[in-house]
A and B are shown apart, each in its own frame.
Chain A
Amino acid sequence: MKLNLNEDKNLREEHVDIYYANMRPVIKQLIDTVNSERPTLAGRPADEDMDDGEAVMIDPKEIYYLDHIDRKLFAYTRTGVFRLMTTLGACEEQLWNYGFVRVSKSNLVNIYKIRQLKPDLNMKVYASFDNGERICINRSYKKSFNEYLQRMRRISL
């Protein structure tokens, strides 16, 4: 899909024009995104070749966590794993207001999807998700994680 971005400092009302041949799910999702003003992430199922298939728009609400492995970024959702064509840093910046916080060098977790936070006997702290997976909260990110939780609590109450 070709993307045209036009910057006009004198524009009074920002708008989005969508040219489409068929009302495909991705177009529908784009419309939903514009209407709800929620950020979405474009990704492809991780088991498919990046050049094949159609990109899907992933709602951050559906993501459990983001994992950066071998210079590739993956989003883990209930329905599957998607490869994203963006960076972890960009996602952190884009999604900080949507419950995403960095817990290690390569992981960003969605706090709304955490089922439980529990330490192991070896004192490593893990965040467990509904899909049964666990992500370790690195102790060097403990302080920023705590600060983030405090800030989100203030915002949400």
Chain B
Amino acid sequence: MREYLKETLLELCCSYTIISVGGSIFNLFFGGETNNVNVIVMFTFCTIAVFILSLHKLLTRFSPLFMIIVQYLACFGLCTLIVFILSRIDHVTKRGWIEYLVSFTIPYVIGAAFYYYRVFKDTKKQDALIKEIQQAESET
């Protein structure tokens, strides 16, 4: 449990730093601006995402595709709940909801595609390694 917490906190720190710095760079070049609520929401989303993604070990009996979809739905559901609660305090426009959906889904799909690519690439590499071992064995 201690190890899990240590690992998860480290992942949270890394991912929040990347997103925060990335957002600042984006704002610097494209003239956007942020406020205190945005920073807190960003951190909350990061925490939810890291926590949900860290539960992947509980889903090893299912296929990775199933795991990715379940984790996406869980993350999206929780983040939407946060935005919904905030929309009670501060009005969120229709465009805001669409932008939220897009900015949440696109990075997730890119991440999933990269994972998909890695699975295929690693498997190809392992298959070549097995052939090499078998070849060496048959020669002896």
Contacts and interface: CB of A to CB of B under 8 A. Distances in A.
Interface of A: 99, 111-112, 114, 116-125, 138-140, 142, 145-146, 149-150, 152-153, 156-157
Contact of A112 (B63, B64, B123, B134): B134
Interface of B: 57, 60, 63-66, 68, 115-116, 119-120, 122-123, 126-127, 129-130, 132-134, 136-137, 140
A35 B55 CA distance: 51
**7 A-B pairs closest in CB distance:** A123-B64, A122-B63, A156-B136, A117-B127, A122-B65, A149-B129, A140-B60
Given A119-B119, A123-B116, A123-B119, A149 B64 contact: no
Nearest to B126: A117
A114 B123 contact: no
A117 B130 contact: yes
Contacts, number: 62
A69 to B, nearest CB: 15
A118 B57 contact: no
Contacts of B123: 117-119, 125
Contacts of A111: 130, 133-134
Nearest to B112: A123
Given A117-B127, A121-B65, A156 B60 contact: no
Contacts of B63: 120, 122-124
Given A118-B127, A119-B119, A157-B136, 4 more contacts: A114-B130, A121-B65, A150-B129, A153-B133
